[in-house]
Structure 1
Amino acid sequence: MPRRSTLYHVDGERGFRGGERQLLYLAAALRANGRRNVVYCRAGRELEAEARRRGFEVRSLPFFCGLDLYSAARLAADARREDAVIHSHTGHAAGIGALASLAGVPFVAHRRVDFPVGAVARVFKYGCAAKTVAVSSAIARILLASGLPEEKIAVVPDGIPVGAEENAWCQTDPGRYKPPTTEERNQYRRILSEELRIDPAMTWIGNLAALVPHKDHDTLLAAAVLVLFQRPNARFIIAGRGPEEPRLAAAVERLGLAGKALLVGHREDAALLLKSLDVYVQSSWGEGMGSVLIEAAACGVPRAATTAGGIPEVVADGETGLLVEPRNPEALAGAIVRLIDDRALAKRLVERGLSGLGRFGLKRMAADMEKIYDAVA
């Protein structure tokens, strides 16, 4: 029997992005292993709704700021009463977890971004954590370079449900992360072509990412211009929301990409979009790991991406995808055109990507995390 079977998953984000999805995947796998999971989040936000829909116990905190004493005191009191381990899934939540840990509660922090770690974060947020979990070795190296001791760092990659059992844990369609049949793919493209007004006979190149600076959509748009010079039947579908959206919409017009590069907003049907694509592209200059690249592989889509952060730990250049240096639109355009033109290469990369999905399964992720929880408790 685990020393502490109750786990508090803390996330104060206002939106629902990859990190929140990973939190729920992990909690689902831990629940299947007999652990009790409680999600602490903002009231009325999408994470609360999604967690409740999946049957998790949810408690709200105000998350007034990154060092919110009120939220930390409530969290610490609950954890002491229920003998729980606190697991903060974001940088902001790590501040509250660190404060709560001063009451003697075991605390684990998660680090998903490959940005430099400041002195205050290293000493307090991550210094108070019994273990900081990095989703890639690239992030682990950044934490180590910041001065965090190696023994306080663990690498646990993100994952997706692989196979019927893991999909059942997550209450997801077993076919969600699975390559479509030709008939299914044609159907998905017909549906999207009517909505987005794109000819299904054209080449569809897609990107699913928050519209924030480090995802570097400027490089993607510049690459789109270059690709369209060579392959005018290509169309770019960019899905996501974020503060960069107005500026990127203006850039689409300025670059003459209207009707050729479409900003389609947040998509509830992300897997359907992935399965409709001819090429998936990730243009980031900063990327902790890039879990959407795992999803693209599972959906059978050839991938072109940059070497930013932890991406090379997900995509092996020339083996499971094509990688180029960040902020290089010419190289990114070249990789995209190569995948468009060389379908034998694209097929081979997809097959190798599919064969390696097991290492990103939820059983593995939960087992790695349970070792950490039990060690720190």
Structure 2
Amino acid sequence: MPLNVLYLHHVARIGGAENSLHLLLHALDRASVRPLFAGPMDGPLPVALAKEGIPIFPVPFGPLKNVPRVLRAVLRLRRIIRAQNVQLLHSNGPQTNVCAGLAGRLEGIPVVWHIRNLLYGSMRDIDRLCSGLATRIVCNSEAIRERFRGSSAWDKSVTILNAVDLGAFNPQASDGSFRRQLGVPPDRTVVGMVGRIGLGKGHVHFIDAAIRLLRGGVNAQFVIVGDAQIPEESARLEMLRRQVTDAQAEERIRFLGFRQDMPQVMRGLDILVLASDAEPCGRVLFEAMASGTAIVATNSGGTPEIVRDGSEGLLVPPRDSDALAVAIRKMIEEPALRQRFGRAGAARARQEFSVERYVTRILDVYEAAGSRHR
């Protein structure tokens, strides 16, 4: 009989954490695990999961300071656990960890926390304070796991880096359509950022570096792939557009919005740039590596665990437009270096970041959680 696992997530929109969850649920062997999902309904994530045949249960999780809402969520989870014979809870983020822990404790079933964010201040303290509610803790990177060092949670936590769909993202995935759509000449290097227009993602520094390089005469096309999903991000996007317009660089720094064809995008880029202040475990890095695309990224958060400086790409200090521009220029001017990084990244993705390896490690956590709970 399969293990009935209820997965919890606090938002219905789709970003990196949601794509990682979807990839896991899609890859699970239904003979081993029967996945169910609980979360808000106002977005594309539950729709996508329902198409996979996954039972969906509406649970509107709220901030921990809203105690009545938290208690209602716990009550709702307990009802689902009983009705569906749920045997394990898998919480996909800090906003659902406490609810999962309370419901699991009251119903006598193991709870796995999956932590995907670098937290600071009160949220980091809450994780440590409430970690006794978790049976096992999965961290997306050692940078994330560090919050538990010196606490009782350290020994029950484990780092499991993200996985990537190697069937979709690989060096042979491109049919050239992305570059044709851009209309760039064959000798022009395409440099891009991919992801939400979120706070701390470093788009300002990417654009600043691009403007400096274009004024210095580099033959490159810069693109920003991704959209704004909340009002604050919409305002940020408009600010970034003004930054480009003020520099009169609209033709060479283009905003492409949300794209469905990410394998084509990744393979169409010559260089992927991740300019975040501190990225916990950026999915775009795995996708770029699997696609054989060279990387320039900031040396912060979990990024150095994924991209090794001088091996799969170049790492620079965060919030440093000058250093970012120097690294991008080096990549543009040395195509052989790009190719070497691309080959190394693709090889490492095949060896270490396959979905099959990822699922096996998650199932090992479930087994350990069940053994500890018995």
Amino acid at match of 1:229: R
1:106 pairs with 2:104: no
Equivalent residue number for residue 280 of structure 1: 272
Amino acid at match of 1:97: A
Following superposition, the deviation at residue 219 of structure 1 comes to 1.4
1:213 pairs with 2:199: yes
Residues 101-129 of structure 1: CA deviation (Å, up to 9, x unaligned): 331332111111223243233212x3311
The question of whether the paired residues in 2 share the 8 Å contact of 1:10 and 1:93 is answered with: yes
Equivalent residues in 2 for 1:38-77 (5 A)? 38-66=36-64, 68-77=70-79
Q: Which moved further from structure 2: 291-300 or 241-250?
A: 241-250
Equivalent residue number for residue 230 of structure 1: 216
Equivalent residue number for residue 375 of structure 1: 368
Structure 1 spans left out of the alignment, 5+ residues: 163-173
Q: Counterparts of 2:175 and 2:218 in 1: how far apart (Å)? A: 22
Equivalent residue number for residue 97 of structure 2: 94
Amino acid at match of 2:353: F
1:364 pairs with 2:357: yes
Equivalent residue number for residue 351 of structure 1: 343
Amino acid at match of 1:77: R
Following superposition, the deviation at residue 41 of structure 1 comes to 2.3
Structure 1 counterpart of 2:305, from 298, 313, 324: 313
The question of whether the paired residues in 2 share the 8 Å contact of 1:86 and 1:106 is answered with: yes
The question of whether the paired residues in 1 share the 8 Å contact of 2:12 and 2:42 is answered with: no
Equivalent residues in 2 for 1:2-41 (5 A)? 5-31=3-29, 34-41=32-39
Q: Which moved further from structure 2: 152-161 or 231-240?
A: 231-240
Stretches of 4+ aligned residues off by more than 4 angstroms = 198-201
**TM-score normalised by length of structure 2:** 0.88
Residues 344-363 of structure 1: CA deviation (Å, up to 9, x unaligned): 11111111111111211112
The question of whether the paired residues in 2 share the 8 Å contact of 1:193 and 1:200 is answered with: no
Q: Counterparts of 1:232 and 1:278 in 2: how far apart (Å)? A: 14
1:187 pairs with 2:180: no
1:333 pairs with 2:335: no
The question of whether the paired residues in 2 share the 8 Å contact of 1:216 and 1:284 is answered with: yes
Residues 295-327 of structure 1: CA deviation (Å, up to 9, x unaligned): 011112111111111111111111111111111
**TM-score normalised by length of structure 1:** 0.88
Q: Secondary structure at the match of 1:356?
A: helix
% same residue: 27
The question of whether the paired residues in 2 share the 8 Å contact of 1:130 and 1:152 is answered with: yes
Equivalent residue number for residue 126 of structure 2: 120
RMSD, aligned α-carbons: 2.1
Task: Report how many aligned residue pairs link the two structures.
Answer: 355
The question of whether the paired residues in 2 share the 8 Å contact of 1:279 and 1:303 is answered with: yes
Q: Counterparts of 1:368 and 1:318 in 2: how far apart (Å)? A: 28
The question of whether the paired residues in 2 share the 8 Å contact of 1:79 and 1:105 is answered with: no
